[in-house]
Structure 1
Amino acid sequence: MAVMLWPVLIAVTGAFSLALGSALQERDAVRAPGRQVARTGFLLHLLRQPRWLIGTAAVVLGASLHLIALSGAPLTIIQPLGVTGLLFAIVLSAVFNRQRVGVSQIIAGVAVMGGLTGVLALFPHSSDIPVLPTPMALALAGTTIGAGLVVYLTAHWMNSGVRALLLALAGGAALGTTSGLARVITANAIGDWTRVVDWLTLLAVVTAVFGALLMQNAYRTGHFSAAYATLLITDPVVGVAIGAFLLGEGTPETLGAQAGALAFSGLAIAGTITLARARHRNPEAPGGRRRSETTARFRTR
């Protein structure tokens, strides 16, 4: 029992660290200068912000703790604990913005957690060493980045709630693709670390940076809870899909499992939409009340 307790504590700590880091990143993302959907220089600005860097370090620490926890306990135990980070994120964002956490937000957060956990539990998890040919990897990354660019270039005309969801969806897909590529890279590098120096690694880095740009713009909308929930859903689901359809890990085999996966997906999506429609929003986001009032005072001087 004591042996299993440590991975559980590590997983919960990692989930909190991920949520805290993302919430800290959001605070600088909404305050950064530029358009509502900022360009690549937006990331360079954030790299000069101490609080954003601390948040990034917390995100990296959280991801590392999650991997450590997975090495000591089954995925069916650790993955649900990792998803609890959504509730941490909702509370932390409300505290930072001096707002109350609504009951509907908590219910929606639990729905997202339950839906995602159910989907991941129903997919098989193979221990075979994955193989992904370079042409297929290029097609995968190219499709992901291409779809993300379409969202990025059209996001200016969307309202903030829809923009948060679509940017986070595209960002989560990019980071999920990065996870799929990273799985191939690390699995093949266990026996030979020189395999890390490969085209797949460069492709993973490019996709990760693009995903980070999209996610920071999603946080910039002020709908942090919805954006973070969308990331928590999209990243692992895309990773599982890559494993199922490109790496040969398979999909739920029985009709009951397939129906269950669809039902859990619907639950997670419904929770995310509820979070996006909630009034809880960072008032300093572009177009927000506090940002608008600040701009108006500046113009009257």
Structure 2
Amino acid sequence: MLLSVFIAVAGAFTLALGSALQERDAVRAPGRQVARAGFLLHLLRQPRWLIGSGAAVLGACLHLIALSGAPLTIIQPIGVTGLLFAIVLSAAFNRQRVRVSQILAGIAVMVGLVGVLVAFPHGTDLPVLSTGTALWLAGGVAAAGLAVYLTAHWMPSGMRALMLAAAGGAALGTTSGLARVITANAVQDPLHIFSWLTLLAGVTAVFGALLLQNAYRTGHFAAAYATLLIADPVVGVGIGALLLGEGVPDTPVEQVGAALFALLAFAGTVALARSRHRNPEADGGPAFTVGVSTSRTR
């Protein structure tokens, strides 16, 4: 148990470190405020971004390893502590101080997210998802993400960070849902990994990465990372509940509790987005107000 806890802490830190390193090059990359797909090709040529991506993948793998040795109710709260690591690391890289308000907002997001995840039951049955349903699911998420991507240029930078990160997190959450089906069935039949679901999961993951890196590009890293931490698992849990038969909170108390925890996480994320701490290299300057823009950034 203690080893799993240590691995979970290491995974949370490594994932946060990798994401903070990615942000550095995402902000500095050439292009428009909302960059096109070629933006990812540019990032793939940046050694620091590649190191960050490797660290993020390692962090995700460590989290999965930790889950194999300890209950979700223990490991998941440790996993979301990565938000606090991300806030501190981003501030250190940008030579900024971490405000108490940022830490409190980060804690609100963590508590809210853990509350939502714990409220949902976690099934053990073999998940099944038809190719047709998977196509509708991925297509719907892609359409919503594309709408955000095409309109994000006209949004204030803070709102742009939230919307792109939410869309990217939804795409990555969809990837996680597809991956759950693929890996669970591959245990019984290894050839199941060579399927249309695997290709679909790969395409969805790349699209999610494009949206997420554009969210980091705004300079509001803490808000974007917090939104990712909410959108990814919540969408994954939603897919499990609605499409894979893993269930939803049964009692009214659990349902109201899940809603309240979700509101707490949302409030914490908005507080982070309203923070004046922003990567100084991002265009538009450090100050902004969610939903209100007095002047258009260049």
Please tell me the TM-score bracket, short chain as reference.
over 0.9
Secondary structure of the residue aligned to 1:190 is: helix
Aligned to 1:165: 162
**Which AA in structure 2 matches 1:262?**
A
Alignment of 1:105 with 2:102, yes or no, is yes
Q: Counterparts of 2:161 and 2:241 in 1: how far apart (Å)?
A: 28
Identity of aligned residues (%): 77
Aligned to 1:191: 188
Select which of 53, 68, 71 maps to 2:50.
Answer: 53
- Trace 1:3-18 onto structure 2 (pairs within 5 A): 4-18=1-15
Secondary structure of the residue aligned to 1:69 is: helix
Displacement after TM superposition at 1:191 (Å): 1.4
- Trace 1:196-275 onto structure 2 (pairs within 5 A): 196-275=193-272
Q: Counterparts of 2:91 and 2:267 in 1: how far apart (Å)?
A: 21
Q: Counterparts of 1:63 and 1:217 in 2: how far apart (Å)?
A: 21
Displacement after TM superposition at 1:58 (Å): 0.2
Does the 8 Å CA contact 1:40/1:213 hold for their aligned counterparts?
yes
Q: Counterparts of 1:153 and 1:262 in 2: how far apart (Å)?
A: 30
Secondary structure of the residue aligned to 2:69 is: coil
Alignment of 1:279 with 2:283, yes or no, is no
Displacement after TM superposition at 1:192 (Å): 1.4
Displacement after TM superposition at 1:189 (Å): 0.2
Alignment of 1:114 with 2:108, yes or no, is no
**What are the superposed Cα offsets for residues 146-199 of structure 1, whole Å, 9 maximum, x if unpaired?**
000000000000000000000000000000000000000000000111100000
**Which AA in structure 2 matches 1:66?**
H
Aligned to 2:66: 69
Does the 8 Å CA contact 1:11/1:81 hold for their aligned counterparts?
yes
Aligned to 2:29: 32
Q: Counterparts of 1:106 and 1:236 in 2: how far apart (Å)?
A: 21
Does the 8 Å CA contact 1:169/1:234 hold for their aligned counterparts?
yes
Q: Counterparts of 2:282 and 2:50 in 1: how far apart (Å)?
A: 19
Displacement after TM superposition at 1:115 (Å): 0.2
**Which AA in structure 2 matches 1:133?**
S
Unaligned runs of 5+ in 1: 290-301
Displacement after TM superposition at 1:274 (Å): 0.1
Given the two structures, how large is their TM-score scaled by the length of structure 1?
0.94
Q: Counterparts of 2:284 and 2:42 in 1: how far apart (Å)?
A: 20
Does the 8 Å CA contact 1:252/1:258 hold for their aligned counterparts?
yes
Does the 8 Å CA contact 1:31/1:284 hold for their aligned counterparts?
yes
Displacement after TM superposition at 1:287 (Å): 2.4
Q: Counterparts of 1:149 and 1:92 in 2: how far apart (Å)?
A: 30
Q: Counterparts of 1:31 and 1:144 in 2: how far apart (Å)?
A: 28
Q: Counterparts of 1:106 and 1:159 in 2: how far apart (Å)?
A: 24
**What are the superposed Cα offsets for residues 265-290 of structure 1, whole Å, 9 maximum, x if unpaired?**
0000000000000000001012237x
Select which of 74, 86, 89 maps to 1:89.
Answer: 86
**Which AA in structure 1 matches 2:51?**
I
Q: Counterparts of 1:262 and 1:139 in 2: how far apart (Å)?
A: 27
Does the 8 Å CA contact 1:220/1:286 hold for their aligned counterparts?
no
**Which AA in structure 2 matches 1:253?**
D
Select which of 125, 133, 137 maps to 1:136.
Answer: 133
**Which AA in structure 1 matches 2:61?**
S
Aligned to 1:180: 177
Q: Counterparts of 2:187 and 2:277 in 1: how far apart (Å)?
A: 45
Q: Counterparts of 2:241 and 2:169 in 1: how far apart (Å)?
A: 18
CA RMSD of aligned residues (A): 0.6
